[in-house]
Amino acid sequence: MQSELDARTYVRDLERRLQVALFSDSASDPEGAVLLVRGAMARDDRIRAAGLAAETQRLATNSPGNTDAAAAAVHARGLVERNPLMLDQAAASYSADFGHARALEDAGIAWADLGDRCAAETRFREAHSLYERLGAADGTARVRWALRAIGVHLCHWTRRNRPSAGWDSLTDTERRIAELVSRGLSNREVAGEVFLSVHTVAFHLRHVFWKLGVSSRVQLTRMVAEGSPPDGESSWRETLV
């Protein structure tokens, strides 16, 4: 019992720290804000979720012109109200792929809860396709489970059999990020090019470093400049178009 209480205290303190970081005016993270709302709703803590949604709306209000912050505010409210139309609106408004995919997934859940299996399946399939393109295995697994829960089985998945390391192990998103980094772009500049959050770009870049066995942007730039892919630099660049 004591260990369970300690764990709850740890999670609560961690969430408080995350809330300060995610909702700060100097470095806001709308995608992260929605994840906190999702977590609260998963624990059926609607009061906390509503408070976090209000903070997400404040974040959007203080960031005029930030389409993802505005989408996140609608997303958060849609989660709290379990409103599939709001979640559809959020999905259509995101410029960031991960935000788009999560909103589609949440919209699918909301439609399924209302008994609209057709609408739920459509959203889940779109989310699955997007997660797969992003190389987000946890997202595709969640959506496959959600599809099975409404009686749909994906029987004709197309998977690329990638090795665990080397150029061929990179997903399309990782390759695109590696190419942009090799041009000297910062993580924030890369995020603007690929329509992902800075945090998501950093996540992908860590995977690129690990898969290619490099530890710095300089090493990565050298590998791309030297045309390290087996088929030469031209084939490398063709995959990025």
Query: pLDDT of 28-62, one tens digit each?
Result: 677 778 888 888 887 788 898 899 899 889 888 88
Please report the DSSP string for 177-189 in residue order. HHHHHHTT--HHH
Q: What pLDDT score was predicted for residue 22?
A: 55
Can you tell me the distance from the alpha carbon of 111 to that of 83, in angstroms, rounded to the nearest whole number?
Answer: 8
Asked whether the beta carbons of 205 and 181 are under 8 A apart, the reply is yes
Tens of pLDDT along 60-80? 888 888 899 899 999 999 999
Domain spans of the chain, in order of start? 1-81, 95-159, 167-238
Tens of pLDDT along 206-215? 888 888 888 8
Average pLDDT of the segment spanning 141-159: 76
**Where residue 97 falls among pLDDT bands split at 50, 70, 90?**
confident
Asked whether the beta carbons of 94 and 100 are under 8 A apart, the reply is yes
pTM: 0.58
> Given a cut of 60, is residue 7 above it in pLDDT?
no
Is the domain covering 167-238 a CATH 1.10.10.10 domain? yes
Closest CA to 72 of 85, 51, 54: 54
Can you tell me the distance from the alpha carbon of 182 to that of 44, in angstroms, rounded to the nearest whole number?
Answer: 45
